[in-house]
Amino acid sequence: MSQSIITLLKDGQQYLETWPVRRELFAHFPECRVVAATKFAVKTMPPAAILACALLLQNMGMQYLPQTIAIGAFFLSLPLQGMLWLGHRSNQYLPPQLNHWYQDIHRKMRAEGCHLASLKSKPKYKELAQLLKTAFDDLDRVFTQQWFR
């Protein structure tokens, strides 16, 4: 199933906002590092692109305009690459081990009285992100720490 770039960017932005960046998850999921790097890139790369382009044009002159545009485009593409990766990852199905873990967490949260979406037989990473966000937001620290020992 092929998706358009715009759809992947939108899914990536949504996944970026949903994924809980918690120290307990850093050892288990690469999403934490990608989310942190993408948030950093969104803040810093546009000013870095402008600064790099301005310095290149000032020091090298207009004859280096193509190289300046290429460097600016590279700096501006870094946050987009993170968003694309996150969008692609959010639409992947969970592997069997994570699927079992997802179902176990979902059952325990239902037993605690949390309001959740229905249990999916083949969940994707975006459903896991929503479940983890709900777990960290709604449940107390003792309950969530038992999953990450």
Asked if 126 contacts 50 with a C-beta cutoff of 8 angstroms, the reply is: no
- The reported pLDDT for the residue numbered 136 is 85
CB-based contacts of 134-139 (< 8 A; 24+ apart in sequence): 134/109, 135/105, 135/109, 136/20, 136/22, 137/20, 138/109, 138/114, 139/109, 139/112, 139/114
As a whole number of angstroms, the distance between CA 113 and CA 47 comes to 46
pTM for this one? 0.85
Retrieve residue 106's tokens. 């979902």
Q: How far is CA 8 from CA 42, 55, 108, 111, in A?
A: 16, 33, 32, 34
What is the model's pLDDT at position 138?
77
Whole-angstrom distance, CA of residue 19 vs CA of residue 83: 13
Question: How much is the pLDDT for 119?
Answer: 84
pLDDT, averaged per 10 consecutive residues of the chain (149 residues), comes to 86 96 90 96 97 96 95 97 96 94 88 81 94 83 59
pLDDT, position 115: 79
